[in-house]
Amino acid sequence: METPQKPLGTGFGTNTTVDELLPGLSLDGKVAIVTGGHSGLGLETTRALSNAGARVIVGSRDIRRASAAVAALKNVEVAHLDLSSATSVDRFADAFISANSALDILINNAGVMATPLTRDSRGYESQFAVNHLGHFQLTFRLWAALKRARGARVIALSSLGHRFSGVDLEDPNFSARPYDKWVAYGQSKSANSLFAIELDKRGLSHGIRAFAVHPGRIVETNLLRNLSQDEMMAAGIYEENSVRRLTTAGGVAKTISQGAATTIWAATSPSLAGKGGVYCENCDIAEIVPDDSKLQGGVRQWAVDRNVATSLWELSERLTLISLGRT
């Protein structure tokens, strides 16, 4: 049965932190993978999973930097993963599968934002390729391990940025239409949400449930590295004494711990048992808002449309030359 895209009334909210979720949470014996789990939201997610007793594998393009970042954490290891390279994705997944381990939690956290037009080796636009297609391929390659867990959860990091655009199924790689980095970012974040919806449908019979997550507006993140000062101001971000803040128009800023809380909640909360295929924010299921809404929250209908989710999945299979079928 489909899970309604309606809040559960969890009692959590914008200010809930990771540490508020950790008491009583035991992940002893569980195995998790966090892409980009060595910085920002990813590092906080890795820390929380580690502190709860899980073994965590961090996928990173920069092994040295990632290893240094997680050195103080227990039961955390780092493996090379470049989501823009199909070969790298396969190599990472093959190494994990060869160990014959179950994968209880897969957190597709890594991503890029508002980059200039660049393409991967296949000619695919980089934000769509990294944020969506790379994680699509990774999840497929790890499918056997997810099934082995008999109750795995997959978390796709979406964003309020999905409001900038739905997915253009006819031209996802900007081969014909003019490139706009924010439209491209919005498309990739809508794709993340749609991916979770279709993945949940296809994984249900194997106990695999999937959730899309909006972490919130966070200003201390490497995602902003491609923005000029003017672009940050336009996005409602300003600097005060070298500290980034949000203007009133920019909404409410979250700390890194508050931003990672919804990821940890979606990956572990008993309140989501038997549920899946929904977009979450503030440690709850988000509500659907009008497509032209100016609210700094909620999910637009195009990012949770189940028919579009199926079409995107089929397109992604063709673009990556892999097929999970309908089992």
Convert the pLDDT of each residue in 138-175 to its tens digit.
999 999 999 999 999 999 999 999 999 999 999 999 99
For the segment 39-45, the average pLDDT, to the nearest whole number, is: 96
- The answer to whether residues 134 and 49 belong to one domain is yes
pLDDT at 180 over 80: yes
- The answer to whether residues 203 and 78 belong to one domain is yes
Rounded Cα–Cα distance for residues 49 and 266 (Å): 12
pLDDT at 246: 55
- The answer to whether residues 284 and 148 belong to one domain is yes
For the segment 64-70, the average pLDDT, to the nearest whole number, is: 98
Rounded Cα–Cα distance for residues 37 and 172 (Å): 27
| Sequence-ordered alpha helix ranges (H) in 58-104 | 63-69, 86-98
User: Residue 86's domain spans which residues?
Assistant: 18-218+258-320
- The answer to whether residues 33 and 115 belong to one domain is yes
Rounded Cα–Cα distance for residues 50 and 73 (Å): 7
The percent of residues above 70 in pLDDT, for the chain, comes to: 88
Residue 8 lies in a domain: no
* Residue scoring higher pLDDT (221 or 112): 112
CB 141 within 8 A of CB 90: yes
Residues forming the active site: 185
Looking at the structure of the chain, the number of domains it has is: 2
Rounded Cα–Cα distance for residues 183 and 177 (Å): 11
- The answer to whether residues 116 and 240 belong to one domain is no
Residue 7 lies in a domain: no
- The answer to whether residues 225 and 108 belong to one domain is no
For the segment 16-21, the average pLDDT, to the nearest whole number, is: 96
pLDDT at 326 over 50: no
Q: What is the pLDDT of residues 79-91, one digit of tens each?
A: 999 999 999 999 9
Task: Quickly count helices (H) and strands (E) in the chain.
Answer: 11, 12
Short-list 107, 302, 309, 280, CA closest to 200: 309
pLDDT at 295: 87
Q: What is the pLDDT of residues 98-147, one digit of tens each?
A: 999 999 999 999 999 999 999 998 999 999 999 999 999 999 999 999 99
Q: What is the pLDDT of residues 222-280, one digit of tens each?
A: 655 555 556 555 555 556 555 555 555 556 678 899 999 999 999 999 999 999 999 99
pLDDT grade for 327, boundaries at 50, 70 and 90: very low
Residue 3 lies in a domain: no
Residue 5 lies in a domain: no
CATH of the domain at 70: 3.40.50.720
pLDDT at 124: 97
- The answer to whether residues 204 and 315 belong to one domain is yes
Residue-by-residue DSSP string for 63-74:
HHHHHHHTTTST
Residue 89 lies in a domain: yes
- The answer to whether residues 120 and 208 belong to one domain is yes
* Dihedral angle computed from the Cα positions of residues 53, 106, 254 and 219, in that order, rounded to the nearest 10 degrees: 120
CB 212 within 8 A of CB 158: yes
Average model confidence (pLDDT) for the chain?
92
- The answer to whether residues 142 and 281 belong to one domain is yes
Please identify, among 206, 235, 253, the residue that sits at the C-terminal boundary of a domain.
253
- The answer to whether residues 239 and 290 belong to one domain is no
The percent of residues above 90 in pLDDT, for the chain, comes to: 84
pLDDT at 253: 77
* Dihedral angle computed from the Cα positions of residues 142, 145, 150 and 152, in that order, rounded to the nearest 10 degrees: -40
- The answer to whether residues 23 and 60 belong to one domain is yes
Report which residue type is found at 216. G
Q: β-strands 31-35, 284-285: how paired?
A: unpaired
Residue 159 lies in a domain: yes
Residue 4 lies in a domain: no
- CA-based diameter of the chain, in Å? 54
Please identify, among 204, 231, 253, the residue that sits at the C-terminal boundary of a domain.
253
Beta bridge partners of 113: none
Please identify, among 229, 253, 277, the residue that sits at the C-terminal boundary of a domain.
253
- The answer to whether residues 237 and 270 belong to one domain is no
Residue 9 lies in a domain: no
